[in-house]
Structure 1
């Protein structure tokens, strides 16, 4: 697993899909609040004047010189429910991000968020 401190160094680096197609640039890392392990990242996608942030899971991620390679297809990542570039992911929208990738969403017993930005 990639350590949070390591992947933060790759902020603004190119994010590519499993086939090497450029998706966008890494914006931020989100950890799973239960384990404090990196779980997802936001990727800046779109045109310079019209961009947004989308989430991508970090499982099976490979970090190389100047890039972060994720295990998901570019088209799937770009269709993820977006947030604005100055926004945060509302707690009530977390489940939709997990569902988009077919992942199980498990908030805390008291309704705590599963993701926290680092």
Structure 2
């Protein structure tokens, strides 16, 4: 299990897919508010003048020298719901991120967010 403190140290390192192809650069880690464990990462992708952040689950991620390997193909990650580099993910858009990867989504009992930046 990757610990939040450990993965924060990997900010700005490459994020690669299952085949080792570079997807982008690790920008931030989001924890699951139910378990308080790392759940998703944002990856900066795009052209230098048109960067955006996409979300990718990190439950099966592997940390290597200078990279974070996620358990998803580059094309799937690049098609994931995105936000601007200075934006936050609206709570009502969280479900779309989970659905994109075929993951179950359940907000908190009072409708609380499922993802949060520590």
Name the count of aligned residue pairs: 118
Residue in 1 that maps onto 2:69 = 69
Tell me, in whole angstroms, the C-alpha distance in 2 between the residues paired with 1:35 and 1:95.
17
RMSD between aligned residues: 0.5
Tell me, in whole angstroms, the C-alpha distance in 1 between the residues paired with 2:43 and 2:36.
20
CA apart distance, 1:81: 1.0
Which 5+ residue runs of structure 2 have no aligned equivalent? none
Q: Under a length normalisation based on structure 1, what TM-score does the superposition of the two structures give?
A: 0.99
Residue in 2 that maps onto 1:45 = 45
Residue in 2 that maps onto 1:17 = 17
Residue 35 (str. 1) matches residue 40 (str. 2): no
Which 5+ residue runs of structure 1 have no aligned equivalent? none
SS class of match (1:41)? strand
Q: Under a length normalisation based on structure 2, what TM-score does the superposition of the two structures give?
A: 0.99
Q: Deviations over 1:20-74 (max 9, x none)?
A: 0000000000000011000000000011111100000001100011000000000
- Hey, which bits of structure 1, 4+ residues long, moved more than 6 A? none
Residue in 2 that maps onto 1:91 = 91
